Amino acid sequence: PSAAPQGHVHAHGAAAVPVDAPGITATPFSVPLPIPRTLRPTHRSRDADHYTLTHAPAEEEIFLGTRTAIYAYGGSFVGPTIRARRGRAVTITHHNGLADPTTVHLHGGHVPADSDGYPMDLIAPGASKTYRYPNSQPSATLWYHDHAHGLEAEHVYRGLHGFYLLEDPAEWRLRLPGGRYDIPLLLNDAQFDADGQLVWRMNDFINRRTVLVNGRPQPYLRVAARRYRLRLLDAANLRSFALSLSTGDPLVQVASDGGLLPAPASVPAVSISPGERAEVVVDFSRYAPGTQVFLVDAVAGQLLRFDVVDHAFDLSRVPAQLRQMPGLPTPTTTRQVSLGMDLPTGTFRINGKLFDMDRVDAVIQRGTSEVWEITNTDTMLGIPHNLHLHLVQFRVLTRNGQPPAPTEAGFKDTVPVAPGEVVRVLATFGDYVGRYVYHCHLLDHSATGMMAQFEVVA
């Protein structure tokens, strides 16, 4: 690939991301993209696959030749990928080898309250807890991450995150690219000191200048000249991404948080805010072997280089219809949720309130549907927020009075709300009862109080 003819190099877009570690010189696009390993079950029983996972301090070679101290699930900055099958339960026994309490949330998962990673349902240092996931929902790119009350922002920043891919055999007949042509990409950012160690300061987004893809700054990936499915996850605490290809070719988005879109959406750029997922199909057969194609962010520039190395056989496709969306249920109530800063104290809040574990903000009847009207009031300071609801996958009804864009027409669990915007969503609170949180997924905001909780009652 280094012999790529100049004419095939599509390097336009913003400048390369500087590596924000004064003592480190990293050559751009010199390290391969790591693909997180798939975790093997420790055993399988009649009704579930059982896994064990330890979270503990570890070291990762984020920069070539430098050991960076991290917190890790299973030893790596991006934890091992868990592959689940719809209709078959999974249990994960987590051992906490950290000095802090932790709790593990399956983001986007429809799970009972005692397995949801409620922020006060903590695993003490040295202790273990078994989470049980029924996997009764449609296929989707879910992820697991820490949610310990007030500590989640630092824990996730230091590496407590990984993919949980819920697959559905019914989806296979669509013939979207799969297997080794299905690549999870965890995007986040960080600040490093002169020794290549992580610097953690709450809310200091300005200095988190190094963007990482699966834990590496500007890696490369060798690809065959065929279709690939890329599962994009914004796991950054505060940074949103607007992703495009350096060739100017559109991205074909096929799925969002809750799984497949009703139909593929061909877009010049895909935007994701913290917590959100977008799956895109890229057809590298458009490019001759030897071509370099960059995944470019509108702000940070080139994030990942694809080196098209070879022709390949390809039976995959992108069908014109992906999923039949069910009809919209009738809501019983409409709730107002306002996201914004309390100016006198400088704290981010929901409906003017900081999180209080002893206060239930919304009592919801099991099985009912509700409209939540979400507003971002931070117009003066121009601060973006989003809203993530545990337990449910919801539908976007309107954004600023308009029907949702095709990329927002599927099921969602996290929705961005720019300053001044009003987003109406419809959620159905199904079978489980108990307390669940909802919060801004800019994790430095939720960790400092931009969170509330609902209780589903029978």
DSSP-assigned beta bridge partners for residue 93: 52, 130
Compute CA distances 411 → 259, 352, 404, 442, 444, whole Å: 7, 28, 12, 20, 25
Our CB check for ligand C2O shows the closer of 72 and 389 to be 389
In the complex, the residues that contact ligand C2O under the rule CB under 6 A are: 105, 107, 145, 147, 275, 388, 390, 437, 439, 441
CA-to-CA dists, residue 243 to 46, 212, 253, angstroms? 43, 14, 11
- Residue 120 zone, left/alpha/beta (φ > 0; ψ -120 to 50; rest): alpha
Binder of residue 275, out of ligand C2O, Cu ion, none (CB less than 5 to 8 A by kind): ligand C2O
Neighbours of 326 (CB within 10 A): 9
Interacting partner of 445 out of ligand C2O, Cu ion, none (Cβ under 5 to 8 A depending on kind)? Cu ion
349 near Cu ion, rule: CB under 5 A: no
Report the partner that residue 227 touches, choosing among ligand C2O, Cu ion, none (CB closer than 5 to 8 A by kind): none
Could you tell which of Cu ion, ligand C2O, none binds residue 110, using a CB distance below 5 to 8 A set by kind? none
> Which is nearer to Cu ion, 138 or 275 (by Cβ)?
275
Cα–Cα–Cα angle for 172, 256, 327, nearest 5°? 85
- Residue (303 or 387) nearer to Cu ion, CB: 387
Min CB(201)–Cu ion separation in Å: 17
Question: Between 250 and 269, how does the x/- string for binding to Cu ion read (CB under 5 A)?
Answer: --------------------
Q: Which residues pair with 43 in a beta bridge?
A: 50
* 246 contact partners, CB below 8 Å, separation of at least 6: 10, 11, 12, 13, 293, 294, 295, 296, 302
Q: How far is the CB of 292 from Cu ion (least distance, A)?
A: 36
**Whole-angstrom distance, CA of residue 151 vs CA of residue 138:** 31
Task: Return the closest-CA partner of residue 394 out of 417, 374, 412, 415.
Answer: 412
Residue in 453, 433, 220, 216 with CA at minimum distance from that of residue 337: 453
Q: Which CB sits closer to Cu ion, 385 or 412? A: 385
Binders of Cu ion in range 358-417 (CB under 5 A): 385
Closest approach of Cu ion to the CB of residue 39, in Å: 31
How many whole angstroms separate alpha carbon 48 and alpha carbon 64?
40
Shortest CB 389 distance to ligand C2O, Å: 9
Cβ-defined contacts of 6-12 (< 8 Å, 24+): 8/287, 8/288, 8/290, 8/291, 8/292, 9/291, 9/292, 10/245, 10/246, 10/247, 10/248, 10/291, 10/292, 10/293, 10/294, 11/246, 11/292, 11/294, 11/302, 12/246
E strands along 331-447, which residues?
333-342, 347-350, 362-365, 369-376, 385-389, 394-399, 411-412, 414-417, 422-428, 434-439
155: partner contacted, choices ligand C2O, Cu ion, none (Cβ within 5-8 A by kind): none
Indicate which of ligand C2O, Cu ion, none lies near residue 322 (CB less than 5 to 8 Å, by partner kind).
none
Q: Are 265 and 253 in contact (CB under 8 A)?
A: yes
Which is nearer to ligand C2O, 304 or 437 (by Cβ)?
A: 437
Name the binder of 158 from ligand C2O, Cu ion, none, CB < 5-8 A by kind. none
Give Rg (Cα) of the chain. Answer: 21
Closest approach, Cβ 39 to ligand C2O, in A, equals 19
Which does residue 107 bind out of Cu ion, ligand C2O, none, counting CB within 5 to 8 angstroms by kind?
Answer: ligand C2O
Closer by beta carbon to ligand C2O, 276 or else 279: 276
Report the nearest approach of ligand C2O to the CB of residue 94 (Å): 16
Cβ of 428: how many Cβ atoms within 10 Å? 16
Residue 388 interaction partner, one of ligand C2O, Cu ion, none, beta carbon < 5-8 Å per kind:
ligand C2O
* Closer residue to ligand C2O, CB minimum distance, 145 or 445: 145
Shortest Cβ 101–ligand C2O spacing (Å): 16
C-beta closer to Cu ion: residue 308 or 418 = 418
Q: Cα 372–242–22 angle (5° rounding)?
A: 120
Residue 134 beta carbon to ligand C2O: minimum distance, rounded to whole angstroms:
19
390 binds, among ligand C2O, Cu ion, none (CB under 5 to 8 A by kind): ligand C2O
Closer CB to ligand C2O, 121 or 171, in the complex? 121
Question: Measured from the CB atom, is 105 or 158 closer to ligand C2O?
Answer: 105
Site track 418-457 with Cu ion (rule: CB under 5 A), x = hit = ----------------------x-x--x------------
Q: Where does this chain bind Cu ion (CB under 5 A)?
A: 385, 440, 442, 445
